[in-house]
Amino acid sequence: MNSDYRMSVVVRTITRLTYGLIIVFGFYVIMHGHLTPGGGFQGGAVVSSAFALLLVAFGSAGLKGRVNRHWFQTLEEVGAIFFLALGLFGIGTAFFFNLFANNPGVPFGQSVPFGPNSGAVSTAGTLPWMNWAVGLKVLTGLTSVVIAMLIGGRKEERE
């Protein structure tokens, strides 16, 4: 598994075409976590699968320019702290209290009618923010796991 390992032309062209779409779809899943069955973790996994696809198709060269491991690690920490900060915002009444829900002034503040509804985007208070925080964390975390596995697997090139 030397570093200039690359897949066949077919795989490389398809990867070049689709990895942008996968990333966009991943972010879509993260964004609408509070409405659709998606959410932070699933969306993050989809996006990191795009990076894994790049890795498989182009070997480690594929990610050379795009992903800097240390930068990803700090992003992961930022995502985690953002999630916890959201939990602490509502500490006045209780930990993880949904402060923003049900007061229209705030971006995601509209109240949700009980029972089946057509699903307005700006509802569910702190939940969308939490989804984004978790999505960011999983996205960077999973990608650095994939990269670590690749580098770990190769004996001679220790990063």
Partner 1 sequence: MTALVPHVPALLIAVPLLGAFLAPIVGKLGRTTRNGFVALVLLVTAALAALLAVRFLGSNGSPILYVMGGPDGFAVPLPSGMATPIRIMFEIDAMNVFMVLITALVTLCAGLFSFRYLRDRSGGDLFYALFLLLTTAILGLEVTGDLFNFFVFLEITSIAACGLIGFQAWQKRAPEAAYKVMTMYTLAGIFVLLAIGLLYAEHGGLNMAYLASAIRGSVVDQVALTFLFVGLGMKAAAVPLHMWAPDAYGEAPAPVSAVLVVNSQASLYGLFRVMFTIYGGVANAVLLGWLIVALALVTIFVGVTVALLQNDLKRLIAYGALSQIGYMLLGVGVALVTIPTKPDFGFVALQGGIFHMINDAACIGLLFLTAGAAIRAAGTRDLNRMGGLAHTMRLTSVLFIVGALALAGIPPFNGFASKFLIYEGSFQLNPFLAVVAVLSSILLLAVFLKAFQAVFLGPRPEGASVGGEAPLGMLVPMVVLAAVVIGFGLFPGFFVERIVTPAARALWYGRDAYIHAVLGGF
Partner 2 sequence: MSLGNLPFIASAMLVILGIYTLLFKRNLVKLVVGGSLIETGVNLFLVTFGYRTAGVAPIYTYAPAAKRMVLPTPQALTLTSIVIGMATTALLLSFAIHVYRHHGTLDARKVKELKG
Answer with the entry of partner 2, partner 1, none that 116 interacts with (C-beta below 5 to 8 A by kind): partner 2
Kindly report the number of other CB atoms within 10 A of residue 19's CB atom: 21
What distance in Å separates the CA atoms of residue 68 and residue 15, rounded to the nearest whole number? 20
Contact with partner 2 (CB under 8 A) among 84, 119, 157, 159: 119
State the minimum distance, in angstroms, from the CB of residue 35 to partner 2.
5
The Cα angle at residue 44 between residues 131 and 55, in degrees rounded to 5: 165
Which of 1, 21, 81, 145: binder of partner 2 (CB under 8 A)?
145
Contacts to partner 1 by CB under 8 A: 73-74, 77-78, 80-81, 84, 87-88, 90-91, 93-98
- Residue holding tokens 């580098």? 151
* Shortest distance (Å) from residue 147 CB to partner 1: 15
Q: Which helix (H) or strand (E) holds 128?
A: helix 127-153
